[in-house]
Structure 1
Amino acid sequence: MKVPKDFKFLYSCDISIKYKIKILSLEGKRDRENAPKTIDKWIDDPYLKNSSLYSDSTLDLYACCTLYSDGKPLCAPEQTSFHLFSGSNKWDETIVLPLKHQDLPLDTMIVITIWDIHSPSKKEPLGGTAFNVFGRNKLERIGKHKLILFQDKQGDGNVESTTQGQVHNSQDEQLRLEKLKKKYDRNLIPHCKWLDKYTIQEIEKISKNSESLNKNTLYITIELPEFEYPVLFKQQICPLYKPLPAQKKQLVLVNDIEMDEHPSEQKYHRLNLYDHKDLKPNSNELKSLTNILRMPPNTRVNGKDIILLWRFRYYLTNNKKALTKFLKCVEWNEIHQKNEALSIMPKWEPIDIADSLELLSSAFTHKNTTNVRKYAVDILKKADDEELLYYLLQLVQATKYEQFDGNPNDSPLISFLFERSSKNFTLGSYFYWYLTVDSVLKSSRFCSHYKTLQESFVRQLAAPEATQISKQNHFVNRLAALSVELKAMSIPREKKIEKLRYMLAEGDYKDLSDFPPMLLPVNPEIEIVGIIPEKSSIYKSAKSPLGLKLRTSKGGEYGIIFKTGDDLRQDQLIIQLISLMDRLLKKENLDLKLTPYKVLATAEEDGIVEMVNPSEAMASVIDKYDGEILKFFKKNHPDPESPNGIAPEVIDTFVKSCAGYCVITYILGIGDRHLDNLLLTPNGNLFHIDFGYILGKDPKILPPPMKLCKEMVVGMGGENSKDYEKFKQLCCEAYNILRKSSHLILNLFALMIDASIPSISEDKEKSILKVQEKLQLELTDQEASNSLLQLLNDSVSALFPVMVEYVHKWYQYWRN
């Protein structure tokens, strides 16, 4: 066979992927004229009257497919799932056979049989067909093919098959047009945009009016694999080496196609001795590159993938998702690779801010990666102050990986954070307190680093901002001293509350009840002028947190909870991530009425929490209102005209907030959920507090996968209500939106692995993998939705968590 010089093709022996066949549709009608008399058969087997063999309704069909060569099967048959046809002829199911393209002989034949299940454990062939994989000129057949189904017969795989399904009747106008349409789809016929539209419409009309497809004939349409170039049959050849005359045995050497490249060749690629500027990947290489780029940011790239990324680096410069993967493959201590990477980096399509965070991680701490970190900071500069605030906690952690010797200008990241925080006091206040906490951590080896940064930052602040930081420090230190003093008193809680109010009004801490305006550390947008003594309290808790009402300079009130002896850094991280996820959802026009209250750690075991008022623990609501949340809503927002007697917007808020927190707590693996740390507002907002257990850890035995209790479901109207259906729909929508931002979420977690937060630092790599596992990145959106719905159903039907909740209530009762 002569091949034209400009003809590009692939050899079948080079394609090492499994052969796939897609069953698209089943069309036509059975031949009733030649059908055998059925009355006697129905008497013997009553099930037959419901079978598709003798009726127009098709029930429980499945297709069975195998490959034959030389009249013998090459592999065991593979079958589709059972398919119920009811008005539609579409099948759309792919069969993956255990043989690869490179394993197929030239005479390989596809043999398909359609089986009908007409009674238990009994099947009859509806019809069979056969089709050759390789056509004329030894080219592998591709694309769609319509095959005749020989009725009441199994597919025949013999050399001279009696069920050869290829249609040869060229006089049939419909079939002739279908062949032309197939050539048109493969660009074998020139396209004419304005005329093609009308031509295709006419072909569809002819197809609908044609009798050839509906008269006593069944057809099955299949789709075969397609590649970038035609596939030409070629057998794998093993080189034979003849022995020397003195030897008696021949030695046969077989190339191991699974073997990696030789180490010297790998080194050859790494040293960049090839010029790959015009090199483009073939279809297999492109598929491999696509799979590499889909990998989560924390995934290690193996040797083969490294070589592939290096080889096609110039081809990948138009793909912004590829840069971080490429830079992680560079051996930064090798001068050739370093120079090549730094020269190509500016030519790359600019990456997203989410991906720039990966370049600031511990993976780029080598002294030769300074320009990489500078590039990441240049990308980060595109973020406005509001967006930067969502990443600030992690960026402070990233400063420990900078080349920093005391001068902020030596580090692109530190210089950038100093500049932006100096211009915006909200950023500056949070930046100061993040540095302060890390400078006093006993478990951290970076204390001196953060202490130096904190002092340098304060020195460069303007006088008004420096004064505000000094006021905040004084306020926090006085509250810490007050809390410690009250904890040391061995008196009942009621007496402690009286003592607290006295100390604030007339005692040693009366300076806290009235002072010059100061911006509140936990929320620098609020300016306060003092604590209201008579509205201050102490919560029922082992840590005895202070509940304080603050007067604002505008005349309003603002509630905070001050805690001592409690590490709030983990709560601070979780609230930051909830706030970020709320922002991501709202960007997609999905407002789930979340309540990301503010948390700020001011020392290793001190901190401030924003108070959400009015709100009440769900346990308290259930006790007061006979176990029904709806009564709580009805009392606060009655609406006689609505079905439940409750304002519709309240139920809507409740459903949305339940959906948002169910998805977020599942992704973050938040545990120890009970009715005392689920809070409700009269407006319908549900929100979570106390995040002592994250990433799948839970003190309870067998906790439910989703934090959904029966009280929440009843509050939506029950499992069969419209509101519960809406809740499930919102859960799936929110889940898939957050999955799209997986790179951002995982990169933020990766920057926290050295933050000395116990739940993360105990097993750093597994911490990120746990979040990655919950995101189920390997699934499509539909598959992810189905998985989430199954988890919701399992959680609703879980009995054990209900028993644990009763145990928790009794424990709380006896403890109090």
Structure 2
Amino acid sequence: MDMIWTMRRQTDLRFREESVQYGSNLPHFLRNINWLDRRVVEDVHWLLGLWDPGELDVHVALELLSMDFPDEIVRKLAVKRLESLPNDDVLKYLLQLVQTLKVEPYHDSFLARYLIQRALRRIGHFFFWYVRSEVAGCPYFRQRMAVILEAYLLGCGQAMINSFTQQVQAVEALQEVAMIIKRLYPDKTDLPSSGRRSNYVNISCGLDKCKVMASKKKPLWLEFSPMPSPTSSTPVGIIFKEGDDLRQDMLVIQTLVVMESIWQEQSLDLNLIPYGCISTGHNIGMIEIVRNAATIAAVQRSHGGTTAAFRNDALFEWLRSKCPLQEITVERFVKSCAGYCVATYVLGIGDRHNDNIMITDQGNLFHIDFGHILGNRKHFLGVSRERAPFVLTPDFLYVMGRLRGGNSLYFQRFRDTCSQAYLLLRSHSRLLVTLFSLMLLTGIPELSAAEDMRYLREALQEDQTEAEAKEHFLQRITECEHLGWTVQANWWIHMVAGIR
């Protein structure tokens, strides 16, 4: 018996050492198991019992929580790996983890218990709204999400419950206002009292300003007085939208946060602005207002109206009027432009017109409104309105000093930054694909089947060498330069059609 025990212990130690080497292949191995053979399953469970969860990469643990792996022991191993994550990292993947609750075999699962425990520690606010929005908008999984939400609320304390109650009441009041506005003003974009406090919003104390925005869904622009603070007196601004599913926007913004963390790990700061966005129910949600920023369309209108869509120096002149420290401004513009060019290309973000690309007074470019992803683009009479791989227009190039194809230090820096950022994302392609695959049960129309992930894999050039992938993206930059006029034409049409 001693000899058998010794041999078993040696096997355990050897397996633990080798698990570090083969951890990334664990999902592939488990997919090829005959789960109907009891003895095979017993052996697999024994092997998984020897595995050190800490030796698994996070992306592997997330992959093991997908619908491909219903086995309870497999999922337990994945959850064990997540237990060592700091709260900030859990929050980074919380959107997917809540969706993953839908594929658990039972309401009471290792993942559900883990998320409730984490929510009771710090991330409860986000957990509450992520789960509650599924209760409100997902009938098939409503019971499970309601049970999990109730379990969390039973443990979070009366003070937290009171806070959530006030938040829910505020959301319901704002939803009522939004619906009334749509009924009373079906053909108008602004209330007569635009800019003043609405009589309907009597539950949202601290509301300083409100207006109806000029958009089809008539979102509400709301500014609240901040809580007393010695560091900031800036009003808190949100856009409340009723009638749009913001979960796709949440996914894109969360992915931007993940991308930013990948870049920052390699000391590459691309000045992204992943503003806040949260779904609070079925086709209801809030978006954070980014201060001191304007849309590219507004910039162009201020420098000649609709024809400024073809004026290459309009953006440059606007930046110069806003920030006298031109060199710092251009540097920030180059970095942020590179970051969003790479991100929007990899994610296949479409419908990129000059009203959903913005810029701050300090030169920070950023994108908003992510209604089309994974290569899905708007068409007119069967023809795609967007022909360039991503937005890199002549006015963007003008800011970088790229005039008539001439050499420019800033443009070369832009190309180098794009290459570095793209290759870093490519080295984490498995994580990015996994994050999207875990959202398949969300109900997002453009992300409903495993086939939808093909765009991501092709955009990241998974089957190519690093050198080939780099050349691939540099060619996309050249393509954008050649097609810049088509983007300008599309923007001009958008501005003309949007004249009110």
Structure-2-length-normalised TM-score: 0.89
Matched, 1:776 2:461: yes
SS in 2 for 1:562: strand
Equivalent AA in structure 2 for residue 580 of structure 1: V
State the distance in 2 between where 1:581 and 1:502 align: 39
Q: CA RMSD in A?
A: 2.2
Instruction: Find the aligned partners of 2:354 and 2:190 in 1 and give their Cα distance.
Output: 28
Seen in structure 2, the aligned counterparts of structure 1 residues 497 and 691 have a Cα distance that, compared at 3 Å, is farther
Specify whether residues 492 and 729 from structure 1 end up closer, same or farther in structure 2 by C-alpha distance, changes over 3 A only.
same
Amino acid paired to 1:605: N
Superposition pairs for residues 293-312 of structure 1, below 5 Å?
none
Match of 1:629 among 308, 315, 319: 315
2:391 counterpart residue number: 707
Is the Cα–Cα contact under 8 Å of residues 116 and 151 in structure 2 kept in the other structure? no
Which of the residues 191, 194, 202 maps onto 1:510? 202
Q: Summarize the Cα distance change of 1:495–1:566 in structure 2 as closer, same or farther, 3 Å threshold.
A: closer
Alignment gaps of 5+ in structure 2: 1-7, 305-310
Which of 414, 426, 440 is matched with 1:727 structurally?
414
Q: Contact conserved, 1:659 with 1:731, CA < 8 A, in 2?
A: yes
Over residues 476-500 of structure 1, what are the superposed CA-to-partner deviations in whole Å (9 max), with x where a residue is unaligned?
Answer: 1111111112222138757615067
Q: Distance in 1 between matches of 2:441 and 2:302?
A: 45
SS of 1:429's partner is: helix
Q: Which letter does structure 2 place at the counterpart of 1:399?
A: L
Measured after TM superposition, the shift of residue 502 of structure 1 is 5.0
1:327 is displaced (CA, Å) by: 1.6
* In structure 2, C-alpha distance between the alignment counterparts of 1:316 and 1:423, rounded to whole Å: 31
Residue 736 of structure 1 corresponds to which residue in structure 2? 423
Note the C-alpha offset of 1:597: 0.3
Aligned: 1:488 with 2:174: no
Question: CA 1:348–1:494 in 2, change beyond 3 Å: closer, same or farther?
Answer: closer
Does residue 1:806 correspond to 2:484, yes or no? no
Do 2:189 and 2:215's aligned partners in 1 also have CA atoms closer than 8 Å? no
Query: For residue 330 of structure 2, what is the aligned residue in structure 1?
Result: 651
Q: Is the counterpart of residue 422 in structure 1 residue 100 in structure 2?
A: no
Deviation (angstroms), 1:707: 2.3
**Residue in 2 that maps onto 1:759:** 446
CA contact 2:182–2:218 (8 Å) conserved in 1 = yes
1:339 pairs with one of 18, 35, 42: 42
1:54-453 alignment, distance < 5 Å: 318-348=21-51, 350-365=55-70, 369-405=71-107, 408=108, 411-424=109-122, 427-441=123-137, 444-453=139-148
Cα deviation code 1:401-456 (max 9, x no counterpart): 22324xx4xx11100000010111xx1111111111111225x5212221222222
Q: Which amino acid aligns with 1:794?
A: E
Of 650, 658, 664, 2:343 maps to 664
| Higher relative contact order (Cα pairs below 8 Å, separated by 6+ residues) | 2
- Aligned match of 1:577: 255
Give SS of 2:147's match: helix
Separation in structure 1 between the aligned mates of residue 424 and residue 443 of structure 2, nearest angstrom: 30
User: Normalized per residue, which structure has more strand?
Assistant: 1
Aligned counterpart in structure 2 of residue 605 of structure 1, from 267, 283, 290: 283
Q: In the superposition, relative to structure 1, how do residues 806 and 445 fare at CA in structure 2: closer, same or farther (>3 Å)? A: same
Counterpart residue number, 1:681: 360
1:793 aligned onto 2:485:
no
Which whole-Å deviations, capped at 9, do the CAs of 1:1-31 have from their partners, x for residues lacking one? xxxxxxxxxxxxxxxxxxxxxxxxxxxxxxx
Amino acid at match of 1:421: A
Matched residues in 2 for 1:430 and 1:316: separation?
34
d(CA) in 1 for partners of 2:460, 2:186: 49
Cα distance change, pair 385–495 in 1 and its aligned pair in 2 (3 A): closer
The structure whose residues are more often helix, as a share, is 2
Decide which of 219, 223, 227 is 1:549's aligned counterpart: 223
1:698 maps to which of 373, 377, 393:
377
C-alpha separation in 1, matches of 2:480 and 2:424: 22
Deviation of 1:323 after TM superposition, in Å, equals 1.8
Offset of residue 543 of structure 1:
0.8
Task: Evaluate the alpha carbon distance shift between residue 782 and residue 531 of structure 1 in structure 2; reply closer, same or farther with a 3 A threshold.
Answer: same
| Deviation digits for residues 308-347 of structure 1 (CA, Å, limit 9, x no counterpart) | xxxx999666322122221222122211211111112244
Structure 1 window deviating more from structure 2 (374-383 vs 707-716): it is 707-716
Distance between the aligned counterparts of 2:16 and 2:31, measured in 1?
A: 13
Measured in 2, the distance between the counterparts of 1:670 and 1:792 equals 16
Kept in 1: contact 2:190–2:214 (CA 8 A)? no
Distance verdict in 2 for CA 1:496–1:696, change over 3 Å: same
**Equivalent residue, structure 1, for 2:193:** 498
Change (3 A) 1:345 1:491: closer
2-structure distance, mates of 1:599, 1:449: 24
Q: Given that residues 226 and 236 in structure 2 are in contact (C-alpha distance below 8 angstroms), is that contact kept between their aligned partners in structure 1?
A: yes
Rate the CA distance shift 1:548–1:502 in 2: closer, same or farther, 3 A: closer
Consecutive unaligned residues of structure 1, counting only runs of 5 or more, are 1-274, 279-311, 515-529, 640-645
The 3-state SS of whatever aligns with 2:24 is helix
Which amino acid in structure 2 is aligned with residue 664 of structure 1? A
Contact 1:486 1:500 in 2 (8 A): no
CA contact 1:436–1:603 (8 Å) conserved in 2 = yes
Q: Does the C-alpha gap of structure 1 residues 386 and 497 become closer, same or farther in structure 2, counting only changes over 3 Å?
A: farther
Please name the residue that 2:432 is paired with: 745
SS of the residue corresponding to residue 354 of structure 1 reads: helix
CA distance in 2, matches of 1:591, 1:491: 44
2:307 maps to none
The separation in 1 between residues aligned to 2:29 and 2:92, in whole angstroms, is: 27
2:189 and 2:214 in contact (8 A); partners too: no
| Aligned counterparts, 1:553-564, within 5 A | 553-554=227-228, 555-564=233-242
In structure 1, what is the Cα distance between the partners aligned to 2:224 and 2:365? 25
Q: Which has the larger radius of gyration?
A: 1
Residue of structure 2 in register with 1:478 after alignment: 173
Matched residues in 1 for 2:192 and 2:252: separation?
30
Q: 1:313·1:326 contact (CA, 8 Å) conserved in 2?
A: no
Q: Is the 8 A contact 2:195 2:210 kept in 1?
A: yes
Relative to 1, partners in 2 of residues 1:576 and 1:335: Cα closer, same or farther, differing over 3 Å? same
Contact 2:190 2:212 in 1 (8 A): no
